[in-house]
Structure 1
Amino acid sequence: MACRISELVLGCRDAEVLTRFWCEVLDFVVLDRMDDGSVEIGPREGFGGAQPTIILSVRDEPEPGKSRLHIDVNATDRDQDAELERLLKLGARPADIGQTGQEAWHVLQDPEGNQFCLLKARIKEL
């Protein structure tokens, strides 16, 4: 058996803002709060399930250069356009990384500027 992703770590200045954002986007819950202000969020069944958890790791200063973490999301219960509208209402913003406009995905930023993509295909809920 190979390894599989169990958690993703995302550096941030304000873990509470991103906790609210990503919990709404992914229908996650808070699993743990660390003494340094970092927060672990994930599916209701907790760590080790079918989906990885996300650790929102508090850092005083943003790391120089491009973020090394990139998250792709797929809608589960609506089409891409409806999901894009929902994400924008939650605080996501479009990100221009040189797209042509012909891509089947949307490049977005969360409230702190971390890029992620909304892919076209709808996937089944777990």
Structure 2
Amino acid sequence: MKSGVHRKLLNYFLGEDKTMKKFTLSLAFLLLCLSYLPLWAGDYRAAYEKNDFKTAFALAKPLADKGDPEAQHMLSGLYKVGWGVIKDYQLARKWMTKAASQGHKEAQSSLG
């Protein structure tokens, strides 16, 4: 039994174990993708800056639902002025309150 484990390790390090190669490559790819996750999260800001408010809303909403105060603050602003969504002061206040309760300074200032 012991020699079987040693043989598998030796095969892996010699590059002869294709299953472990696939696993290692898959793991490396997953880690690479996860490292870019924070960049994808900022896409709603880029859409907002390009005045693509519907896209900004679509990208920010899932993050806001998960508790991201910056995304919540943005949704509040979009609802307040009706950019990319139907103007809704109640929803604007709801998202502003959520962002403020998490310490978002601009949201706290807006609420007074």
Q: Which has the higher helix share?
A: 2
TM-score bin, normalised by smaller chain = under 0.3
| TM-score between both structures, scaled by the size of structure 2 | 0.23
Q: Greater CA radius of gyration, 1 or 2?
A: 2
Between Structure 1 and Structure 2, the one with more strand by share is: 1
